[in-house]
Amino acid sequence: MEPEIVIGNAGAGDAAAIAAVHAESWRATYRGILGDTYLDGPIEAERERLWRARFTETPPPLVVVARDGAAVVAFACAFPDKDPCWGALIDNLHVLPSHKRRRLATRLMETLARRIAAVSPAAPLYLWAYEVNRAARATYESLGGRWVERAPRTGADGTSAPAIRYTWPSPKAIAAARPANRKEI
């Protein structure tokens, strides 16, 4: 019997594992969006520096992880009250390619929404998804995300690509999305 994948809070001790998931997800999903030189370079070390720094911020972001046994296989991150108009920024949601199609994206989004609601119950939420990342966009739309804007976004390597801003009126809107319409990344 396979162990259950458990969703829980992340901490500074998870920075290296989160960075590894982040790098592998980008390498598998962002070819053609981010440059090959960047994706094939020391991306994992660069992401680990980012995640170690994020866990020292005051206040730190809200970060949740999915664990398959002891291994981190997915994560999501949000910055509550990031923008006075748009609300909480969901900045990252990444699932290892080997663990996609297991409802992890949905479970992480729901868990993150509950954590955001605990600190900002009425705040809206938003995120950016690259326009060509159709699987991620389908997941966000199935969770009630509303496409409100298309704009170029600059990636970590300095490249620019069209992205879509999705919004939710409150954290509760994610939980209220109809499960029958959900698609998964």
CATH of the domain at 144: 3.40.630.30
Cα distance between residue 33 and residue 7, in whole Å: 29
Strand order in the sheet with 5-9: 5-9, 62-68, 71-83, 87-95, 125-130, 160-168, 146-154
Bridge partners, residue 138, by sequence: none
Instruction: Give the domain extent around 51.
Output: 5-181
Nearest of 114, 172, 126, 116 to residue 151 by alpha carbon? 126
- The pLDDT assigned to 112 comes to 95
Domain count for the chain, please give it.
1
Task: Find the mean pLDDT for residues 7-32.
Answer: 96
- The pLDDT assigned to 24 comes to 97
Say how far residue 43 (Cα) sits from the centre of its chain: 17
- The pLDDT assigned to 180 comes to 47
The mean of the pLDDT values for the chain is 92
Query: Are 88 and 79 contacting, i.e. CB atoms less than 8 angstroms apart?
Result: yes
50-66 pLDDT per residue, tens: 999 999 999 999 999 99
User: In the structure, what pLDDT confidence band is assigned to residue 19 with cuts at 50, 70 and 90?
Assistant: very high
